[in-house]
Structure 1
Amino acid sequence: MVFPVKYRKTLLDEEMVQIITETAREISKRYDMEFERIGCDGNHIHLLCTAHPKIAPGQIGRAFKSITARNIPA
């Protein structure tokens, strides 16, 4: 999955990447999934994850986006 930053602005710095990585660990504990690789560039995030077949890719994306949005400071 790839999640771009709005308008492709370069906003992801080291602190943001650390918050995103920690949040991904929390999500994988809470849900039945595992993030195998997380790659961040300045304007987008790559996720490689495995999950139970009952979990739709849209649910994974929705959970990741909503939880990370709450954890990133404004």
Structure 2
Amino acid sequence: MVHPSRRSNIHKVEAAEAMAWAETLVRHGLLHAALPTPSGQWLVQHRSGGPVRVLSGPTALVDLAAKIQRLVRTEAVRAR
């Protein structure tokens, strides 16, 4: 079992990691927008004018980043 004080530290790390991934994905044009909400959810938009997805939290955003990373790598391998 995780000690309660460690649990809050883990949450902060997850939030910081999600923010770093969100900034990276937007900067590289892989997402149009990714914004955290006060409730801990994330709003994500793939293209300008496209639908906005609501992600359940930082873990869901990091999972999305991993999925995008796999797609980019797969496309790069196919382009060789």
- TM class by smaller structure: 0.3 to 0.5
TM-score, normalised via structure 2 length: 0.40
Q: Which one has more relative contact order, counting CA pairs under 8 Å at least 6 apart?
A: 1
TM-score, normalised via structure 1 length: 0.42
Higher helix share: 2
Mark the structure with the bigger radius of gyration.
2
Higher strand share: 1
